[in-house]
Structure 1
């Protein structure tokens, strides 16, 4: 596998009928960064865990599944930033002009938003992230020409300051968190929709753009040559996020202040610390910014989950490099990871079916451990086997990924390039 950035995504299009690729080569095409696909596959299964298993027990304490809360979605977002850079690399390299890459990015963003609105309109169980992703893709265009060093710096500053800006705006305007799927009906109230997208929703664009920027910075590097540096950077971000939060809460006195505030306003502090918030913290005390709980959108949540994502990407790519031409053995995870938009969308739809058929009640808390396990096995097997079959016998692109790529080829012709990574979602 070539590690040079200009060659890292130079691969034969398996759709070609001239020379049918062997199944093994379809599962591990030459030149593709299989480690990124592997990381997406891990994120997909981790996401399914958080969607299906209860994150807290009857006493409110976290279960084993809470380990993945917030981390799977952060990994997806960082990988989406990687995909944005990799999918526009050939267009940018051809002329060096942003306007040559902008049409493909905007078309992809619009398609992702449209798919997200469709899924949000039928899903009553999940806060679908795709609309937020589409918006972030469009905004990320302003940063696409920056080098890795600048992107790392901006991502770090964004992680530190965007939660502060969010807290100030929400406390000033008395905005409450909102956990609602973003669907077509939201278009009727654009101001509320924008408020949820940027400030109060489960994946607030204001904070989550930092994940996209971090992923863009990673992809601007020659990943194969900087695996140790990336892993070390990720570990440093994780330790900084969790360590600083612990100091503020248990040494400086934030924990006592939050206990008092949560009792005053009836906030579940245990859930905020261990199982998850609704995308942002309450705006009743600035001490809430000291926590690092899942989906809290604080500086320490962003730093620690972003660090975990970078470590995972480095470890997965290291595994792919060590396996070399035998990296096809990773296909049970890398195959679904190579078509995350299709897998995520199908998972959202299938979850509506399995939840009603297996559990009989859309409320997750009503499901027994056996029902949750059965539901997860169905989703895991479905979204391992179907991508394997699709990639082996149909195309290296997933159906939605291939459809979007076809629209881009027609609407915005550019230099010929291979099947590029498309972002996956939590």
Structure 2
């Protein structure tokens, strides 16, 4: 049940990222409609759930540090390749998160929370001491000087799409959650209650502050990623995870659990596919120019998620793992 629940949550996180990334790639202008509202609320939240689940994954099994290091190497290489076609890649950030998480693999839960807090504090100090807008062109969401040493380091650790500080805190929070007995209903209920409370309370400071720049830092938007964004996104991740774990036994009894979990097991392969195939199709159709409406891109995104589910079911008939998941496993076995 626990494994199915985590895979289902991973698939939901993937679907959220598809909705957000397709809208960004298609340059669709948000409006007051339901499609825009839905995608706006997923922005920065779906990816955070993805990273929290990665942190939980680090606590499962008997992975050794050199195996985690090998995974980080594969993810970094895949991320650099993916950056050639998608500037908002998250995989190379994953690699950096894993490197920072290595010393904490066997850490006590309280040390994991302290590490998460430390990452948030470092990120907050950066927002006050450094120029967050350096190299950004906000009109088209492009980042100049990325392939220079200074630009890469700034993007990776401070002002990129998913900068190490404070985003690595999601990994530490996931590792802390992974140390709990996620099969217990009491733990699941706490994730729902505390997660919901954190997500709600985190939205208050940004609404109360009248100074625009300070309100942005204390708000819950993912750009820039301030402390209350981390709290809100961690809370929503815990909320979704708790709900999914809570309903998974029912889904399993209805025969739906395995179907919903299958895409989550090959989420890495699907992530690359949604860029190469999903965005590639939009480009081939000439739809990356802002001409689509929010409703049209939402429909396309949901259709691609449904296609991803179908492909994952068919793939499961011939292989236990996705192609990139098999590459990851092969690499870690070499270093085992």
Residue 335 (structure 1) aligned with residue 258 (structure 2)? no
Alpha-carbon offset, residue 370 of structure 1: 6.1
Picking from 40, 47, 54, the partner of 1:66 is 40
Picking from 316, 324, 327, the partner of 1:403 is 327
Residue 296 (structure 1) aligned with residue 224 (structure 2)? yes
1:40 alignment counterpart? 10
Picking from 170, 175, 191, the partner of 1:216 is 175
Task: State the structure with more CA Rg.
Answer: 1
Gap change, CA 1:377 and 1:301, over 3 Å in 2: closer
1:29 alignment counterpart? none
Picking from 269, 280, 301, the partner of 1:353 is 280
SS of aligned partner of 2:319: coil
Alpha-carbon offset, residue 156 of structure 1: 3.9
Separation in 1, partners of 2:104, 2:68: 12
**Aligned residues of 1:55 and 1:66 also touching (Cα < 8 A):** no
How many residue pairs match? The answer is 326
2:107 alignment counterpart? 146
Alpha-carbon offset, residue 347 of structure 1: 0.6
Q: Output the TM-score relative to the length of structure 1.
A: 0.70
1:235 alignment counterpart? 196
Residue 197 (structure 1) aligned with residue 167 (structure 2)? no
**Aligned residues of 2:123 and 2:158 also touching (Cα < 8 A):** no
Separation in 2, partners of 1:327, 1:402: 30
**Aligned residues of 1:320 and 1:327 also touching (Cα < 8 A):** no
Separation in 2, partners of 1:406, 1:55: 42
Gap change, CA 1:191 and 1:376, over 3 Å in 2: same
Matches within 5 A, 1:19-418: 33-53=3-23, 54=28, 56-57=30-31, 63-86=37-60, 89-91=61-63, 101-123=64-86, 126-159=87-120, 161-171=121-131, 175-177=134-136, 179-180=141-142, 186-187=146-147, 189-225=148-184, 226-246=187-207, 249=208, 254-255=209-210, 257-258=211-212, 285-324=213-252, 326=253, 328-358=255-285, 360-363=286-289, 365-369=290-294, 371-373=296-298, 375-391=300-316, 393-409=317-333, 411-413=334-336
- Where do 4+ consecutive residues of structure 1 move more than 6 Å? none
Gap change, CA 1:180 and 1:398, over 3 Å in 2: farther
SS of aligned partner of 2:225: coil
Alpha-carbon offset, residue 328 of structure 1: 4.3
**Aligned residues of 1:113 and 1:130 also touching (Cα < 8 A):** yes
Between stretches 161-170 and 202-211, larger displacement belongs to 161-170
Separation in 2, partners of 1:384, 1:168: 43
Q: Output the TM-score relative to the length of structure 2.
A: 0.87
Alpha-carbon offset, residue 243 of structure 1: 2.7
Unaligned ranges ≥5, structure 2: none
SS of aligned partner of 1:288: helix
Between stretches 346-355 and 299-308, larger displacement belongs to 346-355
Unaligned ranges ≥5, structure 1: 2-31, 92-100, 259-284, 414-426
